[in-house]
A and B are shown apart, each in its own frame.
Chain A
Amino acid sequence: DAGVIQSPRHEVTEMGQEVTLRCKPISGHNSLFWYRQTMMRGLELLIYFNNNVPIDDSGMPEDRFSAKMPNASFSTLKIQPSEPRDSAVYFCASSFRQSRDEQYFGPGTRLTVT
């Protein structure tokens, strides 16, 4: 079975540009999570969806960040405008409710904003 798929794997952009990260969860999973990982702050939850509905976006750092999940097999995380402090690895993870919260991570997108 395919795992969580993320694209792009690497993104380098200039400050002020819009960045869109994409995620395809594991088929059949009904919860999707976006995380950000940095050396300083570790792994932080940004937002999560249950059955395509955003449940908790309290981790979204500011209005420059937005996330959508238009259907069960696709989600996007958008940063507009991007800033150098947004440089991090962004992970998407998915889980199936009956699996008692076990989350499976995608390979991540390494974002560098110059």
Chain B
Amino acid sequence: QKEVEQNSGPLSVPEGAIASLNCTYSDRGSQSFFWYRQYSGKSPELIMSIYSNGDKEDGRFTAQLNKASQYVSLLIRDSQPSDSATYLCAVNMRDTGRRALTFGSGTRLQVQP
């Protein structure tokens, strides 16, 4: 079982719609959760971090965390073609005592104009 799981997609949404990206993780003791956006041929860019249960909003982005169910999600409101990218979920797997992040394989988002 992979430690951080994401649907690879592609997830296709029309421009202006809400895109919902999901991620599940295996380590119940994880404390830090991140969403990175990666455009083709570019490096991962941190867009959201979340540490406690509930929602965290930043502009058009909302991260949601549910530690009991071990999932974290990212909502993108008013999706734009420029949001088309691969979104990587990353988790600090505390059970290993490491500060390193474990990344999911990413979900490719396509926003159709």
Contact = CB atoms under 8 A, between A and B. Distances in A.
Measured as residues with beta carbon below 8 angstroms from the partner, the interface class of chain A is 20 to 34
Interface string B66-98: 000000000000000000000010101000001
B57 interface: no
Contact of A100 (B36, B45, B49, B90): B49
A31 B49 contact: no
A105 B44 contact: yes
Contact of A45 (B43, B44, B88, B101): B101
A108 interface: yes
A108 B43 contact: yes
A103 interface: yes
Interface string B20-57: 00000000000010101000001111100101000000
Interface of A: 31, 33, 42-43, 45, 48, 50, 55-56, 91, 95, 97, 100-108
